[in-house]
């Protein structure tokens, strides 16, 4: 018997899987330059117009509205997305919204210094994709790792293990996402040319906020 059968009901399981889908999608489009195939899959087929979950978070609602309005022409959209990706995120571009935790966390003071995110990865024996020259603290890598933690949570077999994993997920979000993506998203909103990346920035921030609440100790249902 797995965790979601005796501890997480099917609606909660589907909710977390929906967030994972959005995290994976958003992280990929931040880490990689949009391809024609990507534009076809996510825009032409209308997948972004039917997000897998709903949220009462105003930031999520706004992000969903932006994504539904973006990309009326596949070719024009791809051109704008590539231009925006290079301006905002590419290491050889203008880097107007650098998606690296280390670029922002130095502005936050804490009595308990946060260890490098690579130590969190190491504690789970997880390695970013081999052969990719991407820093461990890249937002795309951190979002991918978060999806792995949530997948692991959904496969655990008893309440104590689920409870401990819930704490770990909340700790990861608090230490390595929430403390900087608000500043990063502000830069995205200020510098993005396309409506699409404005939507993605808000979507990532909203998902992190929602998941932090879902996995907090005060939320007993999970």
Is residue 179 within 8 Å of residue 108, measured between CB atoms?
yes
pLDDT, tens digit, for every residue of 118-167?
A: 999 999 999 887 667 889 999 999 999 999 999 999 998 788 888 999 99
Q: Please tell me whether residue 100 adopts helix, strand or coil conformation.
A: strand
Q: Of 107 and 45, which is predicted with more confidence?
A: 45
CB neighbour list of residue 115: distance below 8 Å, 6 or more residues apart: none
Mean pLDDT rounded to a whole number for the chain:
85
User: 3-47+55-214 has which fold?
Assistant: TorD-like (1.10.3480)
**CA-atom Rg of the chain in angstroms:** 17
CB neighbour list of residue 205: distance below 8 Å, 6 or more residues apart: 59, 181, 182, 185
What are the extents of the domains in the chain?
3-47+55-214
Residue 61: burial class (beta carbons within 10 Å; 0-12, 13-18, 19+): middle
Residue range 208-212: mean pLDDT, rounded: 97
Residue range 19-44: mean pLDDT, rounded: 80
pLDDT, tens digit, for every residue of 39-97?
A: 656 655 555 667 889 999 999 999 999 888 756 677 777 888 899 999 999 989 999 99
């Amino acid at each position: 018997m797995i965790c979601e059968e005796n501890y997480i009901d099917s609606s909660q399981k589907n909710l977390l899987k929906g967030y994972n889908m959005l995290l994976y999608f958003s992280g990929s489009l931040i880490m990689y330059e949009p391809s024609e195939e990507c534009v076809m899959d996510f825009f032409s087929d209308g997948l972004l117009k039917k997000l897998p979950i709903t949220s009462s978070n105003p930031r999520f609602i706004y992000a969903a509205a932006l994504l539904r309005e973006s990309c009326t022409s596949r070719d024009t959209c791809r051109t704008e997305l590539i231009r925006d990706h290079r301006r905002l995120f590419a290491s050889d571009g203008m880097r107007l919204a650098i998606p690296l935790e280390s670029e922002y966390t130095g502005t936050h003071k804490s009595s308990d210094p946060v260890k490098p995110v690579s130590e969190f990865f190491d504690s789970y024996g997880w390695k970013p994709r081999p052969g990719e020259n991407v820093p461990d603290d890249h937002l795309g890598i951190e979002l991918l790792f978060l999806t792995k933690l949530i997948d692991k949570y959904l496969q655990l077999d008893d309440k104590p293990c689920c409870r401990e994993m819930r704490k770990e997920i909340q700790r990861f979000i608090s230490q390595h996402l929430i403390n900087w993506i608000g500043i990063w998203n502000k830069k995205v909103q200020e510098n993005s040319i396309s409506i699409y990346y404005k939507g993605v920035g808000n979507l990532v921030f909203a998902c992190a906020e929602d998941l932090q609440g879902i996995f907090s100790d005060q939320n007993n249902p999970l």
